[in-house]
Every structure is written in structure tokens, then in C-alpha cells.
Structure 1
């Protein structure tokens, strides 16, 4: 097929593509503890059906210990053709407060060429990108194809990572496409060449046998919440830079956005300054970042006049590609334990780690995807970094150093992933599908 024929086929298939994405995004496949497991398994089955319908002859669910199943599919390579691994994940972040959504989070809603709903971008658009690109070839694939769609990337992606490390031949390929990132702006094609790793943990502070009256004991009884707040704020200096010993600053050699662009993208309120120093690219792609992502304390609505006996926080660390997640985790927990005031009892639990990634110079696959994206978008892609982490990528890079790993996708910096009102622009999805299908064709031809 010529690039023009591929583009026309993708366009003709868009009604089915959108219907598939709406069906998958309507499933609340939140693979976090405390959420129903049945919808996650439903999303796995839906994904399995989509891959079968795309013409792949071998499709199955693979149990992952301690996690939800991965969906695996493959088609053998034609004689002399390379093999490409396609990755995405079908699980999603929790929706959060429904009141903050303009449309119901698990009722995908189209508005002016945009599809709103949890997971429409991250990362069910990645699943659908692979399905629609493969469907273009009607079962006659120009390359060997392997597909692995993960079921718990958002919470415990290291479990698939461990599974792959125990059976690497399952996913061996010449090129590997990770469709779980995106472009800075709509119509601005990009290849992600740098990923931060991550580490996360829960910290708990205890001070009393139980909460006590703030009038009778406040001012003398140690408040667990006050102690925890002091510990958490000590991890940053006055400028907002991380000041935990061992977590050094990094630099990113490519071009990032300006502070003004970041303010607009992140929705920073007027009069509120950004945090940290150095270029934006250095801060969000090449340096450590520490974020408190949750607190277990009485909410304001149910607050009572009491000194708190226990307080907990969930802390996430973003790790530059040059850093080590386990070392950073140790540095931060040691720091918090050292600075804890008043002799409070401190404990840590629920650890998660994932390594970062930096791409090499690239070869045949990189040339093919550059040409494919230039055709689909009308301009060549630029290199960007991503502050997020994908645990599997670092393992693939280590296990298969000769393979080219390509990261792209239909998300963009305004897609509100992990936030209310997540969305994907359907024209952007079409362009990414077109680019992937052209890439598969041109990579086969060398």
C-alpha cells in the first residue's frame, strides 16, 4: 500500500475506530486497590476482541502474577521482514470527583471533534491506535507483529515488567512502539526520547494512642498531621527545588516549552509563580520532582476539634533517566525519617518503582517513523522528553539493546490525563494511526 492508500483507508475506518474507542472508554477499568475488578477484566476481554477483529491470528490473555491480565497477540513476519512490538495499556486512572467533570467520566462524549472521558487519551487511544493501524492491512501485515496490552500500568506497572524479564522471548522484536505518550500540541508531531522514572510510597506518622480534644490537649500533645506537614514541606527549598541530599539537578539538551507556554498548558493561576529554577525542560524532563499525591486525614467537612493521632501521605518521586529509582526512594525515606520532629513514629509502605529511559540515535525504524509522521502531520517530528514514566520501557531497553524503541501517541499536553475532563482530539488520533500504519509499511521496505 502507498502512503496515500493507507491514509485513505484510515480515514474510511474512522467511524469504526471512534466507535471502538467509545466502547473501550466506557468501561471503568480502574486497576487500583479498592476499585471493582470486574470492569478491568471486561476491558481485557474487549481489547482481546478488538485485536482479533484487526486480523491477528493469535490472540490470548496472559495472567500476570499479582496483577490483571495482559492481552497478547501476534502474527508471523513475512520472509525477510522485521518484527514490531506494539504496546499500550487498557487500565485507567480513577475519575476522582465527578463534580469536576463537564461530562460523565465513563460516558464518552463527543463535542466538536473531541472525545471526552477517562482513558480516551491515556491510554485507550494507544490501544485503538494499534488496532486501527493493523486493521488497515486487512490481515496481510507487511511486518511481523507482536502486541502486548497491559492491565495495570497506572498503579503497578512493575508487575508486567517482572513478567517480561522472566520470559523476554515473548516480546522480542526488532522495533518496539510504545503508544503511551503524545505531542506537545495538536498537529505538532513528536518522538519522546527521554522518560523520567518514578518511585512512590506511603508515609505514616503516629504520635498518640488516639485523637484527643484540641482544647484540653492542644499545645502540648504532638499533632501527627502537623509533624507530617513539616516533613513534607522540608523536601523543597524556598524556590521549590528538591533539596533532598543525593537528588541532584539535571539538564535536557533538546528544546522544551517556555515558562509562558507551561503556565498556559498547566492552567497556572494569575499571580501564582512556577516552582523551581533552570529551564522548564530541565525541571520537568531531566531533574527530580517530588509530589504529595494524597493525604489521609479528616476532611474539612467532617473535621472535629481534635489533635490527630495518625496522618498518612502518598508521595511520588519522578526520577531523571540518569537516576536510579530505588536509590532515590532510599534517599527520600531516609531524609523524612531523619527530619521527623518530636520523636514521632514514622513508617513507610506500599513501595512502587520504575526506571527511566533515554533513546539512542536510532536507525532503520527511526528513519521510517520520521518519514511516516512527516507524511501524516505535514512536518517532521521533533524530539521531546516526558516527565511521566512507563516501567516497561527501561526493561525493554535493557533486555533488547539492539531493538529500536519508539515512543509516540495521540495524547497532547492539553489532554488532561490523570485529571478531570480528559480528552482526545479525533483528528490527532487519525493522524497518529496513519503515521503508525505508514511506519509499518515503510519499515518493512527498509
Structure 2
């Protein structure tokens, strides 16, 4: 959500930010609604004050036997009483239109975010590891994975496309990855482990920016709740409608949860394999901090996600997303893209975003700086640490052998119950 005061003070800067996002200028329309809203509120306040004043004066006129004045005051009160509901309705309508307009506008990009329309304008800022040179042609995980327990056919019979059942050794490897990530983020990196709700109300999804714009990407239950598309929703909303104690900041949360996405906007993309599913698991990272801490917190969160890839020996590159490729709530985003040998390219495995105070305004999440009377909005950050399914794909492809087996990365051995290799059944 955007601060209307900042738009009033510098509409040109607001429109410049929108232009970098590929949007047309909106400040004129926003400020016209804002001006009308304020005028209506002033008129209502003045009308109510005059109504109260006139009502009191009626009694005084009656006591003074000035019936002519009393009748005139009664007529004035009646006229005010009759006119005010229309003003209240208009005020409500204008306020709702203004709120809806501000709620539908994405966050403005940070000054150092590169400009561009799509992912082709993203900028590589770092690279780690060298892709393995295979002595054979590396296969796609969708081709050799089924023999190792990656069952697409049974899942499709149960649930349709974009679902998978992991069986036996494959399920063990998936669980090992999830546990390893969660242990690393909660232990070494100091994120508090949370087991959050998977079903949330409208307000939670509005707070993090999924609603109202992206409802079609979500699954809704018959009682009006929503399945979370990411634990970012549950974790970030832990501070909803709160004034957080300054000495508790920064707050850092992590959770391993299933995530549910309709993938409405990805028809035809990654239809094979385990890359893009309606249901998947992810270890999420969320940070809540003071504004002056958020840049450093962003770098810290990136390092926490990168550490998992490095420990697993998976080559990756770090990309700064351009203005046209960032998510709705983000002011600045780094994507981590892991190397997939079968595709001979890097694919996204984590997005780490600094949202500034954009989500905090939508959630009304604040803190009170020491020595100040007024509260300020917090900054929120989120990232994957990592997406478990995509990490599984990366491990399968990067550790595949010419006999179609897969060697288990050393970091996962303590979680594998003695299993060091996945072998075809």
C-alpha cells in the first residue's frame, strides 16, 4: 500500500516510479479522489458540529420563549439531518474507490533496480560453482526420476496434472532436503522456526499483496478461506495490526510448509516434471525490521539461501530482477537460479525480496522508535530458503550417474538413514 501523504508531497516522483514499472501516471486521479474525500470529511464534520450547536440552541430559544428562533433552528437541524446521509454515502464511496486504487498499485522499485520489461533485462550480479562436465548426456529428471520413485502417473490419476507422488527413496531424499534446510535456517542462520496455519483469511493475503489482484492464482475453500501459496503469507502476518517492541527487532521467521498454487498464469510452461506443481513444499524465510536495517537484512537473507546451494554443491547464479520482472509487493528482488544440466541453463530456485514498508502499511504493522511519540511502519522481507521440489530436481540432475542412479550429496547423508545413492527400481 502506498502512503497518500508521499503522493501529495511529490506526485511527480510517484509517477516516475510507476513509469519504471511500466504503468501510466496515476497521481492526478489519486489526488482528485483524495481531495474530494478530504472535502467531504470536512463538510461532514462541520455539518455535525453545526447540528449539535443548533440542537443546543433550540433548548435555549425555547427557554427564552423565542418560538420563532426555535422553529428556525429546528428546520436547520432537520435539513442537516436530511442532507448528511447522502454526504456519508458519497464519502464512503470515494474512500473505497481511493483505497481500491491504492491497493491495486504495485510497490515502487528501489533506485538501483535495473529497468526492463521482462526477465531478459535482469542483471547477473554473482555466480558460484562450475557446471559439472558429464561423460554422458545428462538426462531430464522427468525421464529418469520415475524409476527412482518420482511417480507422476499415479498422482495424475488421483489429482490431475501438475501433481506428483514421491515414493520410497525419492520421498526420503525430499524429506532430507526439507529437514536439512529447516535445520540450517533455524540453527546456523538464527531464524525462529514456526509451524503456521495453511489456511488464511482475506486480510492475510491482502496484507502480503496476493489479494485482490492475484485471486486466480490461489485455491479457495468453500468457507471462504484460502490455501497459502507460500508461508510468506502466514509468517509476515504474525505482526499484523501490532506495534512491535523495538528491542525485539529484527524478527526472523522460517517455516517448512506445503504451498498451493493454481498456476493460472503459467499455462503451457514446465508441463513435464517436478518444476511447476500445484502443491509443493518450501522453506520460507521472513524478516521484520526497522527501515534502516532492511538493506543489510536483504543481503543476510540472500546469504542464508545461497548457503544451502553451496553446501549441496549446486552451481547457481544470483540475478537482480528488473522493474518489469519483480513481484507485486517487492521494491527489490534477487533471484537465485540453479544450474540444470538437462536444460543447460539456470532456473529460478529462490526469490529474495525487500518489500520496504509496502506490506506493513497493508497490515498496519508498526514500531515506535526510541524517544519518539509517533509510530512508524516496519519493513518486511521474504525469500525461499529453498523451494524443496526444485532443489530435489537440481540434486537429481546434477548428481545423476551414467547408470541412472543418483549420488546423495554429502550434506544430506545424516538425514538419509544410511542411504548414499538412489538406484533404479
Q: TM-score, normalised by structure 2?
A: 0.27
Q: Which structure has the larger Rg?
A: 2
Higher relative contact order (CA 8 A, sep 6+): 1
Q: TM-score, normalised by structure 1?
A: 0.26
